[in-house]
Amino acid sequence: MPVANVALPVPLPRTFEYFLPNNAPHPVIGGRVLVPFGQRNIIGIVTAISAQSKLAWEKLKPISEVIDRQSLFSDNLWRILNWSIGYYHYPAGEVLFHALPTLLRQGKSAEIAPLWQWLVTEQGRATLPEVLKRAPKQQRALAALLRGPVYRHRMCELQLVDATLQALCVKGLCVLRPEVPETKDWRYAFRVHGERQQLNTEQATAVSTIRSEDDRFVVWLLAGVTGSGKTEIYLTALEAILAKGKQALVLVPEISLTPQTIARFRERFNAPVEVLHSGLNDTERLTVWLKAQRGENAIVIGTRSALFTPFARLGIIVIDEEHDISYKQSDGWRYNARDLAVVRAREEGIPIILGTATPSLETLYNVQLKKYRQLNLGQAAGSARPASQQLLNMKGLPMKHGLSSPLLTKMREHLKAGNQVMLFLNRRGFAPVLLCHECGWIAECTRCDRYFTLHQHQRQLHCHHCYSQRPLQHQCPQCGSTQLVAVGLGTEQLEAALPPLFPNVPIIRIDRDSTASKGALEDYLAQVQRGGASILIGTQILAKGHHFPNITLVSLLNVDSALFSGDFRAAERFAQLYTQVSGRAGRASKQGEVVLQTHHPEHPLIQKLMHQDYMAFADSTLEERRQAGLPPFTSHMLFRADDHDNIQAKLFLEQLSQLLEASPLRDNDLWLMGPIPALAPKRGGRYLWQLLLSHPSRQQLQRLLAANLPLVSKISQSRKVKWSLDVDPVDS
């Protein structure tokens, strides 16, 4: 009696066996089935079919229904996902379901629904948009309709909303119709219709190098300073791929921040470009997914999860801003889309371009190892002018809510000129430190020359290196001052403090919390684009490929918490943020200015960034990581656990640590650090603890984990906490 192994969307690291009823169609590997689980029927994905089961016959239940007659996954994608299950030690069902659009997870059939489009009517065609100048949105909408059909799912790219088109419809100027399925393959009509830029020498060299090997797996690091014309390279590289009839996948950190980039892809090619953005409903998303699978799309642009789009003929992958940490999924299955994209390119046998002005140290290390190949663009192509930079020594200066008086003066000047000001705060992972405002002294762990991380609510200092701890002190040991301050001000606190200082100036806060609801980020960005004096308070979300032409002053308020953070990655993040914003503040017509507030203007990191460049910083930081035995020279895995009483999680991690210590696979190169409280030690009323594993050999560490993870559920404490494993963490 043959049985199917079925992966279910449940947090268990195993698959389940069901027998195949005689009269039903045969299930396929990679296809969905409906199976009984507990009291109900749920959807599963078949991972294997075997001739018989080791289980007793009576224990098996039958498959209730076979949904798919063919696999939903391409062979390559199937291999990558199965590899990921092992690499990330994450349940098969959750990984496979993660890779599917919502409707398929719910069991809906894998069928293309027509996409709806607004079409101009005869009457609309005979109407001049100027007639509508009292209704500027309608005027814009009509102008767009006159250029061609407006797909409903692409309206937000044109910054149009349904209501505007409805209003035109009432006036008889347009109608909504389902698209007529394309009968002609886009490949027959493919041509470049947008304007090509005349490439400069560096760009031309990069393009011809990429093109000379564009039929095989190569990882290109395209290291180009801000404004050096990386997008132009992507477009030119894609041109040759599309001309061969192959498809392209482009990943970006945040869709809403890149409308201009997307428009350039659409304008350049006479071929279907689809964007997977948060404005799509589930049906539209599924249709885009299925069209890609059938080869009906030429280019798919999306964020992290677009990596799992199936393609009939994928020919190239582009990862824009490869250093961006949003490529790392921060909960559930914590995969890194950049790393998986490289795995995918290898499986597909195609080139991948990692583009950035500020390469991650992992990527630079891969260049050193000759796994990746680097192409450089050193000069700005367009009209961007670098911002002027200024260091503000805060030591002893009067401060208001983290803003020094010279900075306040500057802010007033820029606002008075009708320009916008952007204030950057704590990026994720910039851990708070305890600092003396008078002399700049910073609390430091004497055992390891690392800075203590301040855990305010416990009133303790913790070393995130050797996990020693001590109570908060009240006096500076260097100068005796009692002005010890926690460096690490929150965005909300600042938002509340600004209005009295800047009455009548609109203040816009953009961070993970303020943009959690759908469309919120888009609304804020539209507000910023409209111009007029305003202050933006932002976290890292704002540094991603943004183009805010009216922002002329950018200040990083809180540099010290990055310089002296207990998180060894803080310096890298800071250098990336600094380089990105100083490359972008202002534009040709308006000189931009970047102001860094610090108690330590002499700090080598700052000096290096101001007087050399990001690459010089990266070289020396990589060398420091080598000497310190930190990633990418060692491999990290992080166990996280949380509880509600601040006892169980630590206990669980201690027992886990003992389990690993006792393992026969453990060797002397394994380093177990913790348990210690997480950098952000409390969330939603729960206490977060962590245990970090470090080993110079990734394979060794993987073997140790594979052997021991099945034993973790036997730790009695494991049922009293929530725990998870993060492979290659980005904040540890």
Interaction site with ligand ADP (CB under 6 A): 197-200, 203, 224, 226-232, 381-382
Residue 445 interacts, among Zn ion, ligand ADP, none and using kind-specific CB cut-offs from 5 to 8 Å, with Zn ion
- What are the strands of the beta sheet with 65-66, ordered from one edge? 61-62, 16-19, 3-7, 40-50, 32-37, 65-66
Q: How far is the CB of 543 from ligand ADP (least distance, A)?
A: 13
378-389 burial, b for 16+ CB within 10 Å, e for fewer? eebbeebbbbeb
445 carries a ligand binding annotation:
yes
Of 229 and 538, CB closest to ligand ADP: 229
174 carries a ligand binding annotation:
no
Q: Which residues does residue 151 pair with via DSSP β-bridges, in sequence order?
A: 117
Residue 382 interacts, among ligand ADP, Zn ion, none and using kind-specific CB cut-offs from 5 to 8 Å, with ligand ADP
Joined tokens for residue 194:
């947008």
In degrees, to the nearest 5, what angle opens at C-alpha 37 toward C-alphas 31 and 42? 45
| Residue in the block written with tokens 């992972």 | 429
List the one residue from 65, 215, 438, 619 that touches Zn ion (CB under 5 A): 438
Of 253 and 674, CB closest to Zn ion: 674
Q: Do 438 and 476 touch, CB atoms closer than 8 A?
A: yes
Of 195 and 645, CB closest to ligand ADP: 195
Name, in order, each residue with C-beta under 8 angstroms of 242's C-beta and a sequence gap of 6 or more.
Answer: 190, 248, 269, 271, 298, 299, 315
Residue 447 interacts, among Zn ion, ligand ADP, none and using kind-specific CB cut-offs from 5 to 8 Å, with Zn ion
Joined tokens for residue 140:
């814009």
Backbone angles phi, psi at 209, to 5 degrees: -65, -45
- Contact pattern for Zn ion over residues 385 through 424, marking x by CB under 5 A: ----------------------------------------
Residue 681 interacts, among ligand ADP, Zn ion, none and using kind-specific CB cut-offs from 5 to 8 Å, with none
Residue 231 interacts, among ligand ADP, Zn ion, none and using kind-specific CB cut-offs from 5 to 8 Å, with ligand ADP
| Residue in the block written with tokens 């390559």 | 76
Q: Do 195 and 263 touch, CB atoms closer than 8 A?
A: no
Q: How far is the CB of 419 from ligand ADP (least distance, A)?
A: 21
Residue 448 interacts, among ligand ADP, Zn ion, none and using kind-specific CB cut-offs from 5 to 8 Å, with Zn ion
Distance CA 430, CA 565 (A): 6
**Nearest Cα to 427, choosing from 303, 287, 274, 323?**
323
Q: How far is the CB of 422 from ligand ADP (least distance, A)?
A: 18
Of 456 and 478, CB closest to Zn ion: 478
Percent helix, strand, coil in the chain, to 5, is 35, 25, 40
Residue 675 interacts, among Zn ion, ligand ADP, none and using kind-specific CB cut-offs from 5 to 8 Å, with none
Helices (H), 198-321: 201-212, 230-243, 259-268, 282-293
Straight-line distance from the first to the last Cα atom of the chain, in angstroms, rounded to the nearest whole number? 49
**Nearest Cα to 709, choosing from 9, 84, 89, 16?**
89
Q: How far is the CB of 695 from ligand ADP (least distance, A)?
A: 37
Helices (H), 428-476: none
Residue 197 interacts, among ligand ADP, Zn ion, none and using kind-specific CB cut-offs from 5 to 8 Å, with ligand ADP
Q: Do 359 and 618 touch, CB atoms closer than 8 A?
A: yes
Distance CA 255, CA 386 (A): 25
Q: How far is the CB of 486 from Zn ion (least distance, A)?
A: 15
- Contact pattern for Zn ion over residues 440 through 459, marking x by CB under 5 A: -x---x-xx-----------
Residue 659 interacts, among ligand ADP, Zn ion, none and using kind-specific CB cut-offs from 5 to 8 Å, with none
**Which residue of the chain is nearest ligand ADP when measured via CB?**
382
Distance CA 161, CA 145 (A): 13
Joined tokens for residue 281:
């409903």
Distance CA 319, CA 266 (A): 18
156 carries a ligand binding annotation:
no
SS3 559: helix
Q: How far is the CB of 266 from ligand ADP (least distance, A)?
A: 15
Instruction: Give the strand pairing for 484-487 and 352-356.
Output: unpaired
CB neighbours (10 Å) of residue 535?
Answer: 24
Q: How far is the CB of 186 from ligand ADP (least distance, A)?
A: 25
Q: Which stretch binds Zn ion (CB under 5 A): 199-207, 428-436, 504-512, 685-693?
A: 428-436
Q: How far is the CB of 15 from Zn ion (least distance, A)?
A: 43
Residue 177 interacts, among ligand ADP, Zn ion, none and using kind-specific CB cut-offs from 5 to 8 Å, with none
Of 253 and 675, CB closest to ligand ADP: 253
* Residues between 464 and 493 that touch Zn ion (CB under 5 A): 465-466, 476, 478-479, 481
Q: How far is the CB of 368 from ligand ADP (least distance, A)?
A: 23
Instruction: Give the strand pairing for 299-302 and 273-276.
Output: parallel
Of 99 and 206, CB closest to ligand ADP: 206
Joined tokens for residue 652:
């669980």
Q: How far is the CB of 51 from ligand ADP (least distance, A)?
A: 55
463 carries a ligand binding annotation:
yes
Of 514 and 540, CB closest to ligand ADP: 540
169 carries a ligand binding annotation:
no
Known binding residues for Zn(2+) are 436, 439, 445, 448, 463, 466, 476, 479
Annotated binding site: 436, 439, 445, 448, 463, 466, 476, 479
Per CB under 5 A, residues contacting Zn ion are 436, 438-439, 441, 445, 447-448, 463, 465-466, 476, 478-479, 481
